[in-house]
A and B are shown apart, each in its own frame.
Chain A
Amino acid sequence: MRVGGYAPIEDYALIGDGRTAALVERDGSIDWLCLPNFDSPSVFGAILDAERGGTFELRPAIPFTSSRRYIPRTNVLETVFTTDAGAVRVVDAMTIPDERLPPMRELVRSIEGLSGLVPMVWRCAARFDYGRARPEPSWRVGVPVAAWGGEAVGVANWDAGTPAWTDGAVESQWAMRAGARSLLALTTAYGEPLVFPSRAAALSRLEATIAFWDRWSSERGYEGPWADLVLRSALVLKLLIFAPSGASVAAPTTSLPEEIGGERNWDYRFCWVRDSNFMIDALLHLGCYEEARSLFWWFTQATALTAPMIDVLYRLDGGRGADERDVDLAGYRQSRPVRVGNGAVGQRQHDIYGALFETAWLYSSGHRALDADTGALLARIADHVCRIWARPDSGIWEVRNGPFHFTHSKAMCWVALDRAARLAAAGEMPARHAARWRREADAIRAYIEKECWSDEVGSYTRVAGSRDLDASLLMLPLLEYSDGGDARIRGTIDAIDRTLRVGDIVYRYRAEDGVPGIEGCFLNCSFWLVSALACCGRVDDASALMERLTARANDVGLYAEEVDPRSGAFLGNFPQALVHLALIDAATSFAPPADRRSRRAAS
């Protein structure tokens, strides 16, 4: 149910083609699509401005209910609209290009009458450049085309009424009889002429796209508990990989708010080093070796300009710079500002070094030797970590009131140097400085044990010398800082469980972070708690929590970044890669740690 034109975030499903992605609402409206790439300006942005954002509606013209699913093992969405007059099925997909002169990007909407005679309507209101530009309506060989600057979209349509331009949108009404089929194909171009597909070619690509996703899914190797949700998460993650470069976006959206009406609205359409390394871990676990290798290569290329320092995030094309600015959109349910770019790019976050080395270690453990250049690069970075670990940073949560001496960051620097020493011992990295790396790792551990532990709280703390807790500390046993049987680790997990958990979901912290407003519970932290509980042997507690968390997925198995603990509504960007990565880790955490690691390395 929409309020003020805005649907709940959990009412959306994602379709995509590995270059960009669209959010489809339960009522058949496509309210988010950036063209030609994830990080391009939106053409449909009604999710951020119901009036001016632009949308592509397709629905019955009379009251209806809808149910939907992904066609099994695919990223192709099927919605069934049921009305008093009959039922209609709509299949939505962004097609994979073939050899039949495909459009630059193509979104196909196939409509089939299931029963009765249902009046239908479609309406395409393209609004370029985040809603700032209304298009010039025109026709090309009978196809309605909206163009602005170097961009154009057209709606090729077959048996879907007689479209007409009205107030900057093209729309049409027609009646679907049982057994009848109609087709809409949104064809798009940027800096090149539009390609108008034939009906046969568009349908052929739709079928090939379904076959591609089914084939891709059949190659995934996971057969453990919660297999369906793990596969859905894998499919989501594949959608979030930007195929032209191999980078992965943290989420395909910007500025879906962490607080309704608040200003915690961020652009996640970048590749975070931290996420990409969780991603490589998951990809290896799922048998997606080629995707993991591609992301690892992308990472070594993207960091070449900055090494041994690493930026927090990079653009999808590998470039640096993500200057943050506000765009003139009303915001999801008046949550302003709507931001493009991300100011975190200028921060120093030391945990990313640990993520990098953990990934390199896992990557090389699977008999995929690091080449000499990468080994030399890692050695330079390890030396850099020795120099910086004692400095404060902005931490995993990118606080804007720092820097502080975050315990998690220190622990991740320990991970970096521990793995560097292991890689050197395995002959994967130059070993000249290995003794120094081991010595500094020991020094970090001594610092954490002395400065970052509170006897009073019975837990490691958020920052050195404080009493605050932080859900990121759940990562400590998962990264082998200590094993799950360690008393301090158990104490930390208990304290977080007691203090930050609300029902089945977990706040990341309850401290100031330099941004006004409140936020919801972070789903990735909730899944980390599952992993941590399983890691320290509390399998029943972990399993029970996992069951409750899996019930929080929306009807098609997707998660946003956060959940409102009061209403249960999704908050934040959607769907978020880190949550699905944490879900995969949690699902696979029920195997003994040694088995997990060996299975991942052997994948």
Chain B
Amino acid sequence: MIGSAIAGGFLGTLVMTTIMRGASELGLTRIDFALLLGTTVSDNRRKARAIGYVFHFILGLAFALAYAGFFAIVGRSGWLLGAGLGALQAVFNGTVLVNVLLPVVHPRIGTPDSAANEIALIEPPGFLMLNYGRRSFLVVLAAHIVYGAVIGWVVTV
């Protein structure tokens, strides 16, 4: 099961990343998870993006293991259940993880509390990441639903 979770996590993250990148290229959102995550350790954009993609895949695998654990607890899996978990995670990410928790540990991202004594390099994402475009949350929601569905489809209990 762990093996299938890792495989599902890798595949799901790959698809999710492609959706997010595609949405960005289509002008639907300015979310760039790789840049957001990578700039926690580097202010060089190119380096930050590369590091960010690694972080994103590690997180994708970690969450896939958590999804698999949930499937094991409830005793069933499937793409629909996975999609539901993905939707929940999108809401959590948009309201808490990226909006509240990430700025706490991110040295270069602004927060609503940043004042004149701080200099932000990355604008704060805002509630549901709407600062990055009005359709941002819809893109995040769709990407996470697909991510969850892929994991639910690959992992069998």
* A244 engages B46 (CB within 8 Å): no
Q: Smallest CB–CB gap between B98 and chain A, Å?
A: 14
Task: Knowing A301-B30, A305-B133, A317-B131, say if A246 contacts B115 (CB, 8 Å).
Answer: no
* B30 engages A305 (CB within 8 Å): yes
**What separation, in Å, do the CA atoms of A486 and B29 have in the docked complex?**
47
Q: A residues 367-389 with Cβ under 8 Å of B? A: 371-374
* B121 engages A244 (CB within 8 Å): no
Interface assignment of A218: CB less than 8 Å from any CB of chain B = no
**Is the contact region of chain B dominated by helix, strand, or loop, or is it mixed?**
loop
* A245 engages B124 (CB within 8 Å): yes
Contact with B along A70-112 (1 / 0, CB 8 A): 0000000000000000000000000011000000100000000
* B45 engages A305 (CB within 8 Å): no
Q: Smallest CB–CB gap between A94 and chain B, Å?
A: 9
Checking B44, B46, B110 against A245 with a beta-carbon cut-off of 8 angstroms, the contacting residue is B110
* B113 engages A97 (CB within 8 Å): yes
Please name all residues of chain B whose beta carbon is closer than 8 Å to the beta carbon of A216 when the two chains form the complex.
116
Interface assignment of B132: CB less than 8 Å from any CB of chain A = yes
Contact with B along A281-324 (1 / 0, CB 8 A): 00000000011011001100110111000000000011111000
* B114 engages A19 (CB within 8 Å): yes
* A318 engages B116 (CB within 8 Å): no
| A292, closest chain B residue (CB) | B119
| A319, closest chain B residue (CB) | B131
* B115 engages A19 (CB within 8 Å): yes
* B123 engages A244 (CB within 8 Å): yes
Interface assignment of A18: CB less than 8 Å from any CB of chain B = yes
Q: Smallest CB–CB gap between A175 and chain B, Å?
A: 35
Task: Knowing A291-B119, A304-B24, A317-B124, say if A104 contacts B46 (CB, 8 Å).
Answer: no
**What separation, in Å, do the CA atoms of A549 and B98 have in the docked complex?**
48
Please name all residues of chain B whose beta carbon is closer than 8 Å to the beta carbon of A294 when the two chains form the complex.
119-121
Task: Knowing A19-B114, A371-B46, say if A243 contacts B124 (CB, 8 Å).
Answer: no
**What separation, in Å, do the CA atoms of A298 and B123 have in the docked complex?**
7
Q: Smallest CB–CB gap between B134 and chain A, Å?
A: 8
* B116 engages A246 (CB within 8 Å): no
Q: Smallest CB–CB gap between A421 and chain B, Å?
A: 23
Interface assignment of A565: CB less than 8 Å from any CB of chain B = no
Q: Smallest CB–CB gap between B131 and chain A, Å?
A: 4
Interface assignment of A64: CB less than 8 Å from any CB of chain B = no
Task: Knowing A317-B131, A371-B44, say if A243 contacts B121 (CB, 8 Å).
Answer: no
- Chain A CB count within 10 A is highest, among B30, B110, B123, for B123
Q: B residues 94-124 with Cβ under 8 Å of A? A: 110-124
Q: Smallest CB–CB gap between B44 and chain A, Å?
A: 7
Please list 28 pairs of residues, one from A and one from B, whose beta carbons are closer than 8 Å in the complex, sorted by A's number: A17-B115, A19-B114, A96-B115, A97-B113, A239-B116, A243-B110, A243-B115, A243-B118, A244-B124, A245-B120, A245-B124, A245-B131, A291-B119, A293-B119, A301-B122, A302-B123, A304-B30, A305-B27, A305-B133, A306-B27, A317-B124, A317-B131, A319-B130, A320-B133, A371-B44, A371-B45, A372-B45, A373-B45
Closest 7 CB pairs of A and B: A18-B116, A244-B110, A245-B123, A371-B45, A317-B131, A243-B114, A244-B114
Q: Which residues of B contact A (CB under 8 A)?
A: 24, 27, 29-30, 32, 44-46, 49, 110-124, 126, 130-134
